[in-house]
Amino acid sequence: MRDRLYKETINYPKQFQPAKTRLKSLIMHDDNNGKDANTAENEADSPIADLFSNCTVIFADISGFTSWSSERSPGQVFVLLEKIYGAFDRIADRRGVFKVETIGDCYMAVTGLPNPKKDHAVIMAKFARDCRHQLSALTRSLEVSLGPETSDLTMRFGLHSGPVTAGVLRGQKSRFQLFGDTVNTASRMESTGICNRIHVSEETARLLAEAGKASWLTPRNETVLAKGKGEITTFWLFDKHFGKKSSIGGSTVASETSTGSVGSATYLNTHMGAKTVVNDRRGRLIDWNVDLFAGLIRNIVGRRRAQKSTIKLKEKVVKIGDEINIDSSTHGMVLDEVVEIIELPAFDPKAVALQEDPQYIKLDLAVVVELRDYICKISNKYKENSFHNFEHASHVTMSVAKLLSRIVAPDLEITSAECNSTLHDHTYGITSDPLTQFACILAALIHDVDHQGVPNTRLVEEEDGVAIKYNGRSVAEQNSVDIAWALFLEPRFSELRGVVCPTNKELSRLRQLIVNTVLATDIMDKDLKQSRNQRWEKAFSSEMKDNIETNQDKINRKATIVLEHLIQASDVCHTMQHWHVYRKWNERLFEEMYVAYKIGRANADPSTFWYEGEFGFFDFYIIPLSKKLSDCGVFGVSSDEYLNYALRNRQEWKQRGHAIVAEMVERVQQKNGDTC
**What is the pLDDT at residue 242?**
59
Report d(CA 661, CA 586) in Å as an integer.
Answer: 10
Question: Is residue 614 located within the same domain as residue 473?
Answer: no
**What is the pLDDT at residue 400?**
94
**What is the pLDDT at residue 423?**
64
Whether 11 is in a domain gets the answer no
The answer, yes or no, to whether the previous bond of 114 is cis (omega within 30 of 0) is yes
Q: Is there a contact between 441 and 563 (Cβ–Cβ < 8 Å)?
A: no
**Which residues, in sequence order, are CB contacts of 300 under 8 Å at separation 6+?**
434, 435, 438, 499, 500
Report d(CA 672, CA 559) in Å as an integer.
Answer: 44
Question: Is residue 361 located within the same domain as residue 468?
Answer: yes
Rounded mean pLDDT, 314-337: 56
330 or 460: whose pLDDT is higher? 460
pLDDT for 25 beyond 60:
no
Question: Is residue 341 located within the same domain as residue 417?
Answer: yes
- Domain end marker among 253, 272, 305: 253
Question: Is residue 495 located within the same domain as residue 641?
Answer: no
Report d(CA 522, CA 477) in Å as an integer.
Answer: 7
Task: Quote the number of domains for the chain.
Answer: 3
**What is the pLDDT at residue 406?**
78
- Average pLDDT value over all residues in the chain: 82
Question: Is residue 310 located within the same domain as residue 196?
Answer: no
Q: Can you give the C-alpha Rg of the chain in angstroms? A: 28
Question: Is residue 242 located within the same domain as residue 296?
Answer: no
Q: What is the DSSP string of 80-136?
A: HHHHHHHHHHHHHHHHT-EEEEEETTEEEEEES-SS--TTHHHHHHHHHHHHHHHHH
- Per-residue pLDDT reduced to its tens digit, 331-382: 579 999 999 999 888 777 676 667 777 788 899 999 999 999 999 999 999 9
- Per-residue pLDDT reduced to its tens digit, 98-138: 999 998 889 999 999 888 899 999 999 999 999 999 998 99
Whether 272 is in a domain gets the answer no
Whether 556 is in a domain gets the answer no
Task: Please give the share of the chain, as a percent, with pLDDT higher than 90.
Answer: 56
**What is the pLDDT at residue 32?**
42
Report d(CA 201, CA 409) in Å as an integer.
Answer: 47
pLDDT for 34 beyond 50:
no
Taking the CA atoms of residue 374, residue 378, residue 380 and residue 384 in that order, the dihedral angle to the nearest 10 degrees is -160
pTM metric for this prediction: 0.80
**What is the pLDDT at residue 547?**
63
Lowest average pLDDT, out of 25-29, 95-99, 461-465, goes to: 25-29
Rounded mean pLDDT, 531-549: 76
Question: Is residue 351 located within the same domain as residue 449?
Answer: yes
Backbone conformation region of residue 226, classed left if phi is above 0, alpha if psi is from -120 to 50, else beta = beta
- Per-residue pLDDT reduced to its tens digit, 193-207: 999 999 999 999 999
Rounded mean pLDDT, 9-28: 39
Range of the domain at 582: 572-676
Query: For the chain, how many residues are written?
Result: 676
Q: How confident is the model at residue 311 (pLDDT cuts 50, 70, 90)?
A: very low
Whether 491 is in a domain gets the answer yes
pLDDT for 640 beyond 50:
yes
- Domain end marker among 230, 253, 276: 253
**What is the pLDDT at residue 220?**
93
Whether 33 is in a domain gets the answer no
pLDDT for 470 beyond 50:
yes
Rounded mean pLDDT, 46-58: 87
Question: Is residue 73 located within the same domain as residue 186?
Answer: yes
Whether 280 is in a domain gets the answer no
Rounded mean pLDDT, 633-659: 90
Task: Tell me the residue type at 431.
Answer: T
Taking the CA atoms of residue 407, residue 413, residue 415 and residue 416 in that order, the dihedral angle to the nearest 10 degrees is -60
Helix axes 637-671, 610-617, angle to 10 degrees: 160
Task: Please give the share of the chain, as a percent, with pLDDT higher than 70.
Answer: 79
Question: Is residue 188 located within the same domain as residue 314?
Answer: no
**What is the pLDDT at residue 314?**
39
pLDDT for 61 beyond 90:
yes
- Domain end marker among 253, 276, 300: 253
Rounded mean pLDDT, 11-27: 39
Report d(CA 203, CA 164) in Å as an integer.
Answer: 14
Whether 535 is in a domain gets the answer no
Question: Is residue 322 located within the same domain as residue 454?
Answer: yes
Whether 88 is in a domain gets the answer yes
Question: Is residue 58 located within the same domain as residue 114?
Answer: yes
CATH number for the domain spanning 168: value is 3.30.70.1230
**What is the pLDDT at residue 263?**
35
Question: Is residue 63 located within the same domain as residue 119?
Answer: yes
**What is the pLDDT at residue 356?**
74
pLDDT for 612 beyond 80:
yes
Q: How confident is the model at residue 418 (pLDDT cuts 50, 70, 90)?
A: low
- Per-residue pLDDT reduced to its tens digit, 239-298: 875 554 433 333 333 333 333 333 333 333 333 333 444 448 889 899 999 999 999 999
**What is the pLDDT at residue 172?**
75
Q: Is there a contact between 160 and 200 (Cβ–Cβ < 8 Å)?
A: yes
- Per-residue pLDDT reduced to its tens digit, 576-599: 999 999 999 999 999 999 999 999
Q: Is there a contact between 54 and 203 (Cβ–Cβ < 8 Å)?
A: no
Rounded mean pLDDT, 67-83: 91
